[in-house]
Amino acid sequence: MKAGIIGTGHYAPEKVLTNADMEKIVDTSDEWIRTRTGIEERRIAHDNEDTSDMAFKAAEQALEEAEITGEDLDLILVATVTPDQPFPTVSCKLQERLGATKAAAMDISAACAGFMYGVITAKQFIETGAYQHVLIIGADKLSKITDWTDRNTCVLFGDGAGAAVMGPVSEDKGVLSFELGADGSGGKHLEQNDDYIFMNGREVFKFAVRQMPESSVHVVEKAGYAKEDVDYLIPHQANIRIMEAARQRLGIEEDRMAVNVNKYGNTSAASIPIALSEGVKNDKIKDNDLVVLVGFGGGLTWGAVALKWGK
Ligand code: UT7
């Protein structure tokens, strides 16, 4: 039995904060932000729009694309570091709102790599035959833990949610290989201190430019393919320079990498599933494509997956 992605969805709040807006908040410039990160604007959730509200909208779209309803779900996994509250979890809130009466529900905390941890957790349940349909959502409202006086971090982040439904697929499709990892010794470089995000950008950058290319190559090789066989690369959208390092290491052309960091900034756990959902909707991802998802984040954590697209 193989586990694959059979539906995707995404949601980003309406309110746009451009680099010009950021210039009015902290001592920064559009030029600095664009050249150092690739970000042009980000979306910010309304005060009364919380992580579960964004997650719900992305989830509804993914269920529709998968042609199932909440009642068909066996498990809901929500990757987030900004839940509405510690408990009840975001996944439990969705269990109710989606009418997922037979689903178990839990949140996963692995920062920006959370969606990758979710996909691999879902794969185990599906491939053992324990569960049929698992909904995985990456959703974060980083704006509520952003220090809006710290130019080192506040220009980087945005809010949003992305979702995927996983289920059994045919033998030649679905997840082919994966890699998950953690290095707690690097946790101090990216953490929530008191109320806000603290980041040692240079250290995280060094880790990421090494990890993303390495993990991408590992999963492709583990799947029995060559680097140039990759049809579509979906890296965590943190910084275009880090993403480019992964693309160049695989040696694939520019149009084979998902880029939306310019529109949304770094949306944490939501970044990979938003890019995945957009790739499906824009026909960038087609049946039988070899797709690589790769992410890294606070913890430190990382994860990568190689999969053959389709049911
Ligand atoms: O999901 C994972 C989350 N984190 C990441 O992926 C972040 C990884 N790191 C990065 O993306 C980059 O390190 C940054 C974009 C954060 C910074 O880029 P950098 O090229 O590594 O810049 P830097 O840290 O070397 O700083 C260069 C200068 C510094 O000034 P001095 O000390 O050289 O005088 C900063 O103070 O840029 C300054 N700076 C800014 N200037 C204008 C830092 N933030 C800003 C800003 N506007 N917003």
Q: 200-215 pLDDT, tens per residue? A: 999 999 999 999 999 9
Residues 216, 267, single domain; the answer is yes
pLDDT given for residue 151 in this prediction: 96
What total of structural domains would you count in the chain? Answer: 2
Residues 150, 20, single domain; the answer is yes
Residues 17, 159, single domain; the answer is yes
Residues 256, 234, single domain; the answer is yes
Query: Tell me, what CATH number does 48's domain have?
Result: 3.40.47.10
Contact 82, 144 (CB under 8 A): yes
Quick check: is 92 catalytic? no
Q: 55-92 pLDDT, tens per residue? A: 999 999 999 999 999 999 999 999 999 999 999 999 99
* Full domain range(s) for residue 13: 2-169
Share of the chain above pLDDT 90, in %: 99
Residues 56, 180, single domain; the answer is no
Nearest atom, ligand 1, residue 155 CA: 48
**Spatial separation of the C-alpha atoms in residues 261 and 239, rounded to whole Å:** 7
CA angle (213, 137, 271) in 5-degree steps: 40
Residues 131, 101, single domain; the answer is yes
- List the alpha helices (DSSP H) in the chain: 19-25, 30-37, 51-66, 90-97, 114-127, 151-154, 201-222, 240-250, 261-264, 271-281
Residues 153, 196, single domain; the answer is no
Residues 107, 191, single domain; the answer is no
Check pocket membership of 201 for ligand 1, CB cut-off 6 A: yes
**Spatial separation of the C-alpha atoms in residues 222 and 94, rounded to whole Å:** 35
CA-nearest residue, atom 14 of ligand 1? 201
Question: What does the block give as tokens for 245?
Answer: 């390092």
Residues 36, 156, single domain; the answer is yes
Q: Which of 169, 203, 235 is the last residue of a domain?
A: 169
Answering whether pTM is above 0.95, one says yes
pLDDT given for residue 194 in this prediction: 84
Q: 119-154 pLDDT, tens per residue? A: 999 999 999 999 999 999 999 999 999 999 999 999
Residues 28, 145, single domain; the answer is yes
pLDDT given for residue 272 in this prediction: 98
Whole-number mean pLDDT of the chain?
Answer: 97
pLDDT of 291 over the 90 cut:
yes
